[in-house]
């Protein structure tokens, strides 16, 4: 462990300090803030710190594990909406493989590629990221992108064989999702340069694509599920906007038209919360229309705390509270997604 500067007792009462012994036998200190920064670094979160030397931890940081959660959850929702999922060992293994596909492999591919094409912006907004900090070379990043992409498409094809598909639905979804990820990050299209298109592509990647994969793995993917999840992805567009607030300055300098840059921070915050609330409300209304009233009521109850946290944190200061808002409100959003999936499966949509 590297040596650190000792801190006098009670120099910062709000900060927990633990004594450690480094490799030379000398006493040092590791603060709670330092540990938190290292954890954030590993997960690929805002507020990280530079200094990691392990190439595998650096590669993991590029893949931003914190972003895998909604995609893994989307697979669960898709399996639920199929109406055919049963708790057998084979089905659990299939679902786990699909989660590996959607999260670590293809989301990891997307995040690594996004960091590759955003290295100039990150040098301004997040200089501790692996590429702008020089922790990993560009050829190593390109290799990681290719390995994750090929592994993801290969696993998707294996899942089609495992599920007995005559048409490789999961593989086609994986290829389509990978293409959307590419045009989201890479020129000349670079969808993220447009706040509306880029955020909708991101929202659909978080909600619709993994949902389709989970549904197709255990049932027949139909047009109703396709349309409903694409509409639901407009709520995901709102979630995607939250990520833009951490990079307003860099986006403005480099001419990226994120919604906070286009409309200002306050207006963009309102657009964000309205998209989330209105389209979740639309899904609740749809559940009532197909007589799934109990599920609709549960979904409405899950929307209420989201609105509360929007008022408490996000609308008051979106730049300072974006991470706090996501941590407090997102669990209710993902639970709402599962409620909708279970309702669709119960109704046989």
The strand pairing partners of 30, in sequence order, are: 18
Which H or E run includes 15?
A: none
How many residues comprise the chain? 349
Which phi-psi region, left, alpha or beta, contains residue 64 (left: φ > 0; alpha: ψ -120 to 50)? left
DSSP 27: E
Residue 81, pLDDT score: 97
| Structural domains present in the chain | 54-221 (1.10.357.140), 223-348 (1.20.120)
The strand pairing partners of 27, in sequence order, are: 21
Residue 31, pLDDT score: 62
Q: What is the pTM of this model?
A: 0.84
- Residue-level pLDDT, tens digit, the chain, 349 residues: 334 433 333 444 444 444 334 444 444 455 666 666 666 665 666 555 566 678 999 999 999 998 898 899 999 999 999 999 999 999 999 999 999 999 999 999 999 999 999 998 888 878 888 999 899 999 999 999 999 999 999 999 999 999 999 999 999 999 999 999 999 999 999 998 888 999 999 999 999 999 999 999 999 999 999 999 999 999 999 988 988 887 888 788 877 788 999 999 999 999 999 999 999 999 999 999 999 999 999 999 999 999 999 999 999 999 899 888 988 998 999 999 999 999 999 999 9
How many Å apart are CA 345 and CA 181, to the nearest integer? 29
How many Å apart are CA 42 and CA 59, to the nearest integer? 9
**Relative orientation angle of helices 208-218 and 68-82, to the nearest 10 degrees:** 40
Which phi-psi region, left, alpha or beta, contains residue 47 (left: φ > 0; alpha: ψ -120 to 50)? left
Q: pLDDT of 203-216, one tens digit each?
A: 999 999 999 999 99
Residues 6+ apart with CB under 8 A from 275: 234, 235, 237, 238, 241
Q: pLDDT of 46-92, one tens digit each?
A: 555 566 678 999 999 999 998 898 899 999 999 999 999 999 999 99
DSSP 349: -
């Amino acid at each position: 462990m590297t040596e650190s500067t000792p801190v006098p007792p009670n120099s910062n009462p709000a900060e927990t300090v633990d004594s450690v012994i480094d490799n030379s036998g000398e006493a040092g200190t590791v603060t709670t803030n330092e540990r938190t920064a290292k954890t954030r670094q590993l997960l690929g979160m805002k507020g990280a710190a530079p200094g990691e030397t392990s190439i595998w931890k650096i590669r993991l940081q590029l893949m931003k594990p914190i972003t895998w959660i909604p995609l893994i959850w989307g697979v669960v929702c898709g399996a639920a909406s199929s109406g055919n999922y049963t708790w057998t060992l084979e089905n659990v293994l299939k679902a786990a493989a699909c989660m590996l596909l959607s999260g670590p492999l293809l989301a990891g591919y997307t995040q690594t590629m996004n960091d590759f094409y955003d290295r100039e912006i990150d040098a301004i907004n997040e200089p501790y990221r692996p590429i702008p900090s020089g922790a990993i070379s560009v050829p190593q990043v390109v290799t990681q992108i290719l390995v994750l992409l090929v592994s993801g498409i290969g696993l998707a094809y294996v899942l089609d064989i495992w599920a007995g598909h005559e048409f490789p639905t999961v593989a086609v979804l994986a290829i389509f999702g990978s293409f959307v990820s590419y045009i989201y990050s890479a020129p000349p299209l670079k969808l993220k340069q447009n706040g509306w298109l880029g955020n909708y592509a991101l929202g659909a990647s978080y909600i619709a694509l993994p949902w389709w994969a989970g549904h197709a793995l255990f049932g027949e993917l139909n047009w109703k599920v396709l349309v409903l999840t694409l509409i639901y992805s407009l709520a995901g567009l709102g979630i995607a906007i939250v990520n833009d607030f951490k990079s307003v300055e860099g986006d403005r300098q480099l001419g990226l038209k994120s919604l906070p840059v286009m409309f200002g921070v306050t207006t963009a915050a309102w657009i964000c919360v309205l998209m989330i609330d209105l389209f979740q409300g639309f899904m609740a209304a749809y559940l009532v229309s197909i007589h799934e009233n109990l599920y609709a009521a549960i979904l409405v109850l899950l929307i209420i705390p989201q609105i509360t946290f929007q008022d408490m944190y996000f609308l008051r200061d979106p730049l300072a509270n974006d991470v706090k808002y996501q941590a407090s409100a997102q669990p209710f959003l993902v639970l709402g997604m599962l409620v909708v999936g279970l309702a669709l499966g119960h109704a046989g949509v």
